A = this chain, B = another copy of it.
């Protein structure tokens, strides 16, 4: 499953004339997020997969021998002939994507940034660092200015994308916050299996079951939106002061986090106002033309049966966040559900869009080989 928009990149993004292509490395290339990077980057107009880095167990093997490939399409040909390297090996690339496990991400991402490489990370380790942008291009592109406060040598830096559930919440809350000022968010998630990595959740735990606990998830969901929705003052992010409560559940769904959200505004808004904001929110003009940007950042369903993880997660190639079931709330102001493809918009696809923004803004360049 590819990001649909890429196919037409030559026609719809003609204004991008890239003098040359960028070679990237993928850290944690055999994991769920690493695999999704490879799937999504197949045929990318700017980026080519130059290096695959994984743990010792995989080093020295051809990629197909090192991975339990979960895609429905075969492994892209170029990647299937690439040998997996270790993090300590010399790498030929212009930047790296990190799909590393948090247990090793601090050390390894620091190591790559120290080598002067841009690190576009999906790991949680640096998300709360005040010098590291926690970035969704449509939400807080101005946070990129934090990079200048990082002190890695040779132009290395780290940019992170949020936790997958946070993405589902913030992408739907951002337009509302802009319009009415969000005061409180009451959140219950129903999260997909792929969010837990591989092998992740045991089938014996989740078959015909719901797990009302995901370690560390509620904490992330109550913290990350405050940074994402914060404003930049004097090159620092002033965290938003929204009250957030999050209850996180795991459900037997492969991809797509469905999230119940109730919201309280600082300003009064009618149901039509809220619908209008959902319908009319546009991606910033310097984002909409990026190769992985979906035509529609946010899609509001009127059909009460929608959105559903198994049917609507892939909208906009997995980069569109869907909302639906919008109604007045008996306790706060309004409530709705939000759906995000957790490994595309909520992980690998989000990181790729971040890298594209960084290229377009000149933060990532070609390095001499």
Contacts and interface: CB of A to CB of B under 8 A. Distances in A.
What size tier do the contact residues of chain A reach? Answer: 35 or more
A73 B318 CA distance: 11
Interface in A1-45: 32
Given A184-B331, A262-B186, A209 B247 contact: no
Interface in A248-262: 249, 251-254, 258, 260, 262
Contacts of A337: 212, 247
B210 A330 contact: no
B199 A252 contact: no
Given A194-B204, A202-B198, A202-B202, A209 B311 contact: yes
A254 to B, nearest CB: 5
Question: Which 10 pairs, one residue from A and one from B, show the smallest C-beta to C-beta distance?
Answer: A199-B202, A209-B310, A188-B188, A245-B330, A188-B260, A245-B331, A247-B260, A203-B203, A245-B329, A201-B203
A243 B311 CA distance: 33
Contacts of A213: 304-305, 325
Contacts of A329: 186, 245
A213 to B, nearest CB: 5
Nearest to A244: B330
26 contacts: A70-B204, A72-B310, A72-B311, A73-B314, A188-B188, A190-B190, A193-B204, A201-B202, A203-B203, A203-B206, A207-B252, A207-B254, A207-B310, A209-B308, A209-B311, A210-B308, A211-B305, A212-B337, A213-B305, A244-B330, A245-B329, A247-B260, A249-B260, A251-B252, A264-B331, A331-B332
Contact of A190 (B74, B208, B251): B251
A205 interface: yes
